């Protein structure tokens, strides 16, 4: 099964769609591998102007890591191997050579918010919930999300989202600067977002790449990858603790009720 579906909705614009709608588009190991290969396959295309990340279906953009799969990881080492693998992928997304757009067609929670953070722009459907809920599971963001968020938002805005670990509506997230545009449910979500993207880009891909490279070079000079890996290591330490495993067990039991 293709867990990442690639299409080209506009000339020079590639869309990668997370394709596990029955699992709220949660990320598992196979999803990671396919996302990595997809990014590698397109990043050097000379005609590429933009990249879109979105989710299949109407319920979820991405609900984060597949908790049933990753709950099997118990030790700090096991956790770090998984977390750093996805962290490397999100670093590639963060430093992708053309603008990136997260189209939040549905809920974005935990790691789903980290994927969205790695993108340059976040457009969301009205009434959708987002949240860096990792703190409720006694861990921090595990894929480098906090480091990336602090590059994108003002310090107090970013830390409000991280410290609280709350789910909030995209309308509030827009006021905090996390969401750039909320699309009315009366409109066709993808028609409006595609038009927004089309209108926000000049025609010459070389100009687009040159502008993006200014920020990417700054991130590289300030050691973004190392900072993300430090965050990920700290998460892996918390992952091993009983508090995390108990919180996950409680969460899974509540879902069964």
23: containing domain = 4-199
Do the domain assignments include residue 238?
no
The span from the CA of 248 to the CA of 236, in Å, is 15
Hey, what are 154's tokens?
């003002």
On whether residue 167 sits in a domain, the answer given is yes
pLDDT 10s digit of each residue in the chain, 257 long? 899 999 999 999 999 999 999 999 999 999 999 999 999 999 999 999 999 999 999 999 999 999 999 989 999 999 999 999 999 999 999 999 999 999 999 999 999 999 999 999 999 999 999 999 999 999 999 999 999 999 999 999 999 999 999 999 999 999 999 999 999 999 999 999 999 999 999 999 999 999 999 999 999 999 999 999 999 999 999 999 999 999 999 988 887 65
Asked, for residue 254, whether it belongs to a domain, the answer is no
Would residue 151 count as lying in a domain? Answer: yes
- Residue length of the chain: 257
CB 142 within 8 A of CB 235: yes
Q: What are 238's two structure tokens?
A: 């918390």
Compute CA distances 61 → 13, 134, 138, whole Å.
19, 17, 23
Domain for residue 253, yes or no? no
Helix axes 145-152, 76-94, angle to 10 degrees: 30
* pLDDT at site 251: 87
CATH number at residue 98: 3.90.226.10
pLDDT score, position 253: 85
Q: What distance in Å separates the CA atoms of residue 158 and residue 177, rounded to the nearest whole number?
A: 9
Helix (H) or strand (E) holding 244: helix 242-256
Residue 51 included in any domain: yes
Say how far apart CA 145 and CA 234 lie, in whole Å: 13
Strand-pair partners of 183: 125
Question: Does residue 146 fall inside a structural domain?
Answer: yes
113 neighbors 142 (Cβ within 8 angstroms): no
pLDDT computed for residue 257 by the predictor? 57
The DSSP bridge pattern shows strands 129-131 and 168-169 to be antiparallel
Domain count, the chain: 1
Global pTM value: 0.98
pLDDT score of 256: 67
């Amino acid at each position: 099964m293709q867990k990442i579906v690639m299409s080209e909705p506009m000339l020079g614009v590639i869309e990668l769609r997370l394709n596990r709608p029955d699992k709220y588009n949660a990320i598992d190991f196979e999803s990671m591998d396919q996302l990595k290969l997809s990014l590698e396959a397109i990043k050097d295309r000379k005609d590429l102007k933009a990249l879109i990340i979105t989710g299949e279906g109407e319920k979820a953009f991405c609900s984060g890591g597949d908790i049933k799969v990753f709950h099997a990881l118990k030790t700090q080492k096991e956790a770090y191997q998984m977390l750093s693998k996805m962290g490397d992928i999100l670093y590639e997304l963060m430093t992708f050579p053309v603008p990136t757009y997260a189209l939040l067609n549905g809920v974005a929670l935990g790691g789903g918010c980290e994927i969205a953070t790695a993108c340059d722009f976040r457009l969301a459907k009205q009434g959708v919930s987002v949240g860096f809920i990792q703190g409720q599971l006694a861990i921090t963001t595990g894929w480098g999300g906090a480091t990336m968020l602090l590059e994108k938002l003002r310090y107090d805005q970013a830390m409000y989202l991280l410290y609280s670990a709350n789910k909030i509506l995209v309308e509030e997230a827009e006021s905090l600067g996390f969401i750039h545009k909320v699309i009315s449910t009366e409109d066709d979500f993808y028609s409006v977002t595609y038009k927004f993207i089309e209108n926000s880009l000049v025609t010459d891909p070389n100009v687009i790449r040159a502008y993006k490279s200014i920020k990417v070079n700054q991130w590289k000079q300030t050691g973004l990858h190392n900072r993300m890996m430090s965050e990920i290591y700290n998460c892996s330490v918390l992952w091993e603790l009983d508090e995390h495993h108990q919180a996950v067990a409680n969460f899974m039991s509540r879902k069964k009720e």
